[in-house]
Amino acid sequence: MKPVTATLTFIHTSDFQLGMTRKFLPPDAQSRFDAARLEAVAKLGELARDKGAEFIVVAGDVFEHNTLEPRTHERALEVLRALPVPVYLLPGNHDPLVADSIFTRREGVAEIDGVHVLRDFDPVEVREGVEIVGAPLTTKHASEDLCARAIAPLAPSENIRVLVGHGAVEGFGDQDNPSLISVAGLDNAASEGVIDYVALGDTHSTQDLSSSGRVWYSGSPETTDFHDRREGVAGGETDSGNALVVTVEKRGMESTVQVESVPVGEWTFEELAWEVAGPEDVDLILDQLRAYPHKDRTVIRYSITGTLGLEDTARLERGITKLSHAFAALYEHQRYMGLYLQPSDEELANLPLSGYAREAMAELAAAASAPSLPGEASDPVVRDALNLLFRLSEEAK
């Protein structure tokens, strides 16, 4: 008799880190960010319904800490309770399965119907022919490849097996770290029919880790950090805010896997850098910032290098200050700032100032155009004072 083809569709996600705070967000933006992170989890339930998924696996770091404020904890429980399909949660490095684990608390997440904590390495039967194998962290820092440990005792099977793990993989980070996950080892196990798909968490960007298409980081369902868009720099969260819809078909020991990445997040975090030399560059910066469609859920950290005169600097800073009220956060990355304020002789000559005011303007202009160390930007306090004096002189015209 020919083996029957089994089919499974599920949602792979990770790194909710519910309870996360961002120090650069003002209180009102932090509240919106908190709400958006919960909404992203709720959207996973909608996605599961739309795609006919049987369950959701969360590959670690469900919570930011094992100790959360009661309000944050209760809201998290409510959103998990409302999910329309079973959900399987893996303890990660932010919320390891230690003595005071959030996963074992009375009246907590483990007591919600339909929510299952992957507490050990034993396969969990979801239904006939489908198993989930967890590799939970029982300490904040693992001392071995937990995925390899989880699959070591397993034999090839006609059941569909999903391995759920959390951590860095070989090729990333400290190569002497014994906890690094071997993707090659997982691919080999998949080729032998031991496992069929590996759902990983830790990195917050979506990433296909193997040529087989069976080992994935889902990334966080809501963006948490900056996508670095500076020229010549590629890094940060380059593709976060997604969930993966995974479909596995297995016939005997052989399986095929299809993975669809679906956007569910709404926030944008970007690192930008501009070089300026004149008024057209000021226009470019302000136009680029104005073009962002959802500023209330957009965070921009920026750096500016180059030299501008008084009028252009004042117009740039007025424009950025005005726009900052619309953005969730819009602020300088001080480490990379290299903006010099250098008034032209004509600008200084045309200022309606005299006496002490003109002398003060001259001193500030000299300080702004001559930073204390080579390569430093003008002192922002000096720039602010110079701009203030310039605005006052303009109002006096």
Query: What average pLDDT does range 15-36 have in this prediction?
Result: 96
Domain annotation for the chain: domains and CATH numbers: 5-263 (3.60.21.10), 268-396 (no CATH)
Alpha-carbon gap, residue 297 to 265, rounded angstroms: 10
pLDDT in tens, 144-159: 999 999 999 999 999 9
- Name the 3-class secondary structure at 386: helix
For residues 314 and 281, the answer to whether their CB atoms sit within 8 Å is: no
Question: Which residues does residue 329 pair with via DSSP β-bridges, in sequence order?
Answer: 299
- Name the 3-class secondary structure at 127: strand
Please list the alpha-helical segments (H only) found in the chain. Answer: 27-51, 70-81, 146-151, 183-191, 279-290, 310-324, 345-349, 355-369, 380-395
Q: How confident is the model at residue 345 (pLDDT cuts 50, 70, 90)?
A: low
Q: How confident is the model at residue 182 (pLDDT cuts 50, 70, 90)?
A: very high
Question: Is the pLDDT score of 395 beyond 60?
Answer: no
pLDDT in tens, 76-123: 999 999 999 999 999 999 999 999 999 998 889 989 999 999 999 999
